[in-house]
Amino acid sequence: MLDTSRRFAFTPEHDLFREQVRRFLERELLPHLDRWEADGVFDREFWTKAGEAGLLCPTVPEQYGGPGLDFAFNAVIDEELAYAGSTAGITLHSDIVADYLVAYGSDEQKRRWLPRMVSGETVTAIAMTEPGAGSDLQGIRTSARRDGDEYVLNGSKTYITNGQLADLVIVAAKTDPALGARGVSLILVEAERAGFARGRNLDKIGFHSQDTSELFFHDLRVPVSNRLGAEGSGFAYLMNQLPQERLSIACAAQASAQRAFDEAVKFTRERKAFGQAVFEFQNTRFTLADLAARLQVGWAHLDWAIRRHVEGALTAAEASAAKLWHTELQWEACDASLQLHGGAGYMEEYPIARLWRDARVTRIFGGTNEIMKEVVARAI
């Protein structure tokens, strides 16, 4: 398990919550994870059980059915899920979608959706990426044309986390294509609406148990009251919320890097070669020592970033730097740890294989690491 004895981002309340999260994952996730990896999707029941255990949407205010906690509780869940080797989409649901509704939703929208998100009754997704628009969100082509008291949506989205299970999707669409970024709005779309269609559950290199889908909108009508916030403010909202998304990715990346390191230490101490444990070779010990030093720095930085964010002080550039640094560390740790496993590391029966496979995409989603460098550079 993660050693949190030297962490400084958390209080005793967070530590107690971490124990609760660990017990839940041990009971409700780990026994089923291999099956979910094979199925390409989590059981819907997992969501409601997570809701019952208090693992969904920790920051939702009490008046909307949540516990009203700080983001550090989200960070605990992010870390423990990643350390367990899980890519469950509850982090997107809790860390991203919930905050959009809390920050920009009307009172009616909050009262309708947030309690159901906290309980796990409603699964959510956010649809930004399109076949022709990834990190450049200004390039989206999905349209939401105003027709009286309704919007008519047409377009498609891809790489959408929770796409197969989502009951509610926040869709980024152009309400005024002539205005570029200032013409983007966010629209709440219920999955049962006519004109909504799910594509295939995408066949990915990793993240096998997380359903990731194409979504299609064909003459889909929603009332104007389904708009999230002000018309034309969608791009600004997306930019405002990206720091938390990127910090969430950094939390998971750091925990995954630690798990990879721990697996390498365990394996090399047990595996014998040329009459001694693989751990005793200088190359092994130096590789692990270098990773241990980087992990030490990583945990200190992550705690700093979490505290900054809880205080409302984490900047977009700082969050982007965190996403950049921790995902690069994750890949380095997973790749080096797989190498130390030798041929065993390429076998699915060893946890390092899944950790390595899942690590590759984290330098892409949430904005590619090349874009992270651009964000950081602009703040210099």
Give CA–CA dist 201/214, Å, rounded: 7
Backbone angles phi, psi at 43, to 5 degrees: -65, 140
Give CA–CA dist 159/41, Å, rounded: 14
Active site (annotated) includes residue 150: no
Give CA–CA dist 97/234, Å, rounded: 13
Question: What are the structure tokens assigned to 172, written together?
Answer: 């980024």
Give CA–CA dist 174/232, Å, rounded: 8
3-state secondary structure of 137: helix
Output b/e per residue, 279-296; b: 16+ Cβ within 10 A: beeeebeebbeebeebbe
3-state secondary structure of 199: strand
E runs forming strands in 191-321: 196-201, 212-223, 227-228, 272-273, 276-277
User: Which residues, 6+ apart, have CB-to-CB distance to 73 below 8 Å?
Assistant: 14, 17, 58, 59, 67
Set 231, 245, 263, 318: catalytic member: 245
Which among 333, 87, 374 has a CA at the least distance from the CA of 211? 87
Which among 237, 260, 247, 380 has a CA at the least distance from the CA of 324? 247
User: Which residues, 6+ apart, have CB-to-CB distance to 255 below 8 Å?
Assistant: 2, 78, 79, 80, 81, 82, 83
Strand partners, 170: 126, 188
Q: Annotated catalytic sites, by residue?
A: 245
